[in-house]
Structure 1
C-alpha cells in the first residue's frame, strides 16, 4: 500500500485491518454499514482501489461508478428496501461533506427520505 492508502480508513477496512459490518464484497467493491447511520439503512459502498472522490473514480475508470451503483442496488434488494426506494449519495470534496477521501457511495433507506437533503 502507498502512504495515502495506509492512512485511509476505507482502504484499511477493505484490507480487513479495521473491523466493519461488511454486507457485500466482490472483486471491485465492498459494502459495509455506516458506523454513524443517518437512516435505518445506511451502507457505504466503496471501490477496492483507492481513489479520492467520485470525480477521480469516473476519470480513472468510468465503469467503476456503474459498479458502485449496481452493488448498491443489490444491497438495497438484500436489505428489503429496493421496492420502497432508497437514496444514493456521492459527496465529492470537503464542501460537499466528504470526510473520508476515498470514493464512497452512501445507500440510505428504510424510511422516507426528505428533500432537500440535510
Structure 2
C-alpha cells in the first residue's frame, strides 16, 4: 500500500527505466556514478528485509536487465556495487525498500587494501 509521504510511492516525476509485476527501476536522482539505478518493490515496505521472496526475485530480475542495459550504454563499465542501506545508522534516507545498482569503471576509485588485524 502506498504511503502518502513516500518519495517512491507518490512522485509523478519518476522516470521508470524497467518494470515487472512486482518492482520497477529508476535512475538515482543523486547518483554516486553515472547510470546509478535504484531497483524498488512496488509494495511499500520500509527495507529490503521486509520484502517477500517473490519481490526479491523480481528485483533481482530487474537488476540483471538493468545491468545489461547499462553495459550496452557504457561499454567501459567493468563491475557493479549492488546493495541496500537498511536503517538510519547504515545511511538509509528513503524508507521504502530499494537496492542500488552502481556501475563502476576500472580505476574510478582508489581501493584501500584491508589492514592486517
Range into which the TM-score falls when normalised by the shorter chain: 0.7 to 0.9
- Structure 1 match to 2:115: none
- Give the drift of 1:20: 2.1
Do residues 68 (structure 1) and 59 (structure 2) align? yes
Return 5+ residue gaps in structure 1 as ranges: none
- Structure 2 match to 1:8: 6
- Structure 2 match to 1:78: 69
TM-score normalised to structure 2 length: 0.80
- Structure 2 match to 1:42: 36
Give the counterpart of 2:97 among 92, 103, 116: 103
| Number of equivalences | 107
Q: CA RMSD in A?
A: 2.2
- Give the drift of 1:111: 2.1
TM-score normalised to structure 1 length: 0.79
Q: Which has the larger radius of gyration?
A: 2
Kept in 2, the 8 Å contact 1:41–1:110? The answer is no
